[in-house]
Amino acid sequence: MHCLVTGHKGFLGRRLSAALIDFGHSVTGLDTPAGQPIDLRDAPAITDCIMAARPEVIFHLGGVSGPMLLNDAPGQVLAINGHGTLNVIEAAGRAGVRRLIFASSVAAHQRVGGRPGSLYAVSKTLGEQLVAWAGSTMETTSIRIGSVFGPGRATANPLHQMIAEGLATGVVPYPAGNMEPSIEVGDCARLFAGLADAARMAPHYDAVRYCVSYRAAAETISAAVGAQAHPTALEESFLYDTTFDVEPLARDSGSGPPPSFSDAIGQLVQTVREAA
């Protein structure tokens, strides 16, 4: 199966591309002929790339990847994640793409005072609606991904931050409340890759493996780094208008069992130590 991955040079995109190759597929990235990444706002360049590649499957991972990015530039967030997704959909239709798999986020269902938790969340909700609209001409699905952790992450992540604190100070501070649902990057990549040639796809899936409290995460990290978990006076919780269930995605993608949370954290700690 020939696959095109947008965002193929990003944190999850690199792992997905490798997983697809491991599964026997060929992979093209959303690049110019000279190998430069294409801006999702550049509709002609996107069309040229997809028409030249003629993929059977597109994995749309590219875009603004979290609420911590461009939060002072709302127009850019909507242009990249909204109009950019439409550009990919329209080019896919022209190229006769059979299947489109969209990387959404659990943030699309986060609520603060009954409202969306961020403009990023709004942009992902819009992306899901655009992908559903495209379902009349091709197979489509949106995968709501939890907070992805693992080796190679460059943007802020609470698990990575707690590991860094524990290794540096011997103390892992944590607030009260529940963390954002999460998933390990390699596991997430395999779940995505399994849909390239899956017999069926549902309209949407959840890529969430772990739903833990900050305290449980801090205690797991403390055990892995040899530190002490220490509660702070802060309280933080993520509230959603739905619950998340990875089983349909695991079933349809043919994915094997995930690592336990403690094993996934232990592997990340080992990688961080080796890189130090």
User: How would DSSP label each residue in 57-103?
Assistant: EEEE--S--STTSSTT-HHHHHIIIIIHHHHHHHHHHHHT-SEEEEE
Taking a C-beta distance cutoff of 8 angstroms, is the pair 44, 52 a contact? Answer: no
Q: What is the SS3 assignment for 174?
A: strand
Taking a C-beta distance cutoff of 8 angstroms, is the pair 124, 107 a contact? Answer: yes
Q: Which of 93-107, 110-124, 138-152 is the least confident region?
A: 110-124
Q: Name the DSSP class of 37.
A: B
Q: Which of 39-53, 179-193, 235-249, 252-266 is the least confident region?
A: 235-249
Q: What is the pLDDT of residue 71?
A: 76
- What's the whole-number mean pLDDT along residues 139-158? 95
Torsion region of 113: left, alpha or beta (phi above 0 gives left; psi -120 to 50 gives alpha): left
Q: Is the pLDDT of residue 47 over 90?
A: yes
Q: What is the pLDDT of residue 5?
A: 99
Is 3.40.50.720 the CATH number for 1-273? yes
117 pLDDT band (50/70/90 cuts)?
Answer: confident
Q: Is the pLDDT of residue 141 over 90?
A: yes
Q: What is the pLDDT of residue 69?
A: 76
The whole-model pTM stands at: 0.94
Alpha carbon distances (Å) from 156 to 7, 148, 152, 162, 176: 18, 11, 12, 11, 19
Distance between CA atoms of residues 239 and 180, nearest Å: 9
Q: What is the pLDDT of residues 246-269, one digit of tens each?
A: 999 999 999 989 999 999 999 999
CA-wise closest residue to 68 among 124, 10, 118, 103: 118
> Could you give the angle at which helices 261-275 and 214-225 cross, rounded to 10 degrees?
50
Q: What is the pLDDT of residues 63-75, one digit of tens each?
A: 998 777 777 778 8
H or E segment and range at residue 144: strand 139-145
Torsion region of 42: left, alpha or beta (phi above 0 gives left; psi -120 to 50 gives alpha): beta
241 pLDDT band (50/70/90 cuts)?
Answer: confident
Q: What is the pLDDT of residue 58?
A: 99
- What's the whole-number mean pLDDT along residues 204-232? 97
Q: What is the pLDDT of residue 105?
A: 95
What whole-number percentage of the chain has pLDDT above 90? 84
- What's the whole-number mean pLDDT along residues 98-107? 97
Distance between CA atoms of residues 210 and 78, nearest Å: 29
In the chain, domain spans: 1-273
Distance between CA atoms of residues 275 and 112, nearest Å: 37
Q: What is the pLDDT of residue 73?
A: 79
Q: Is the pLDDT of residue 10 over 80?
A: yes
Mean pLDDT of the chain: 94
**DSSP-based helix, strand, coil % in the chain, nearest 5:** 45, 20, 35
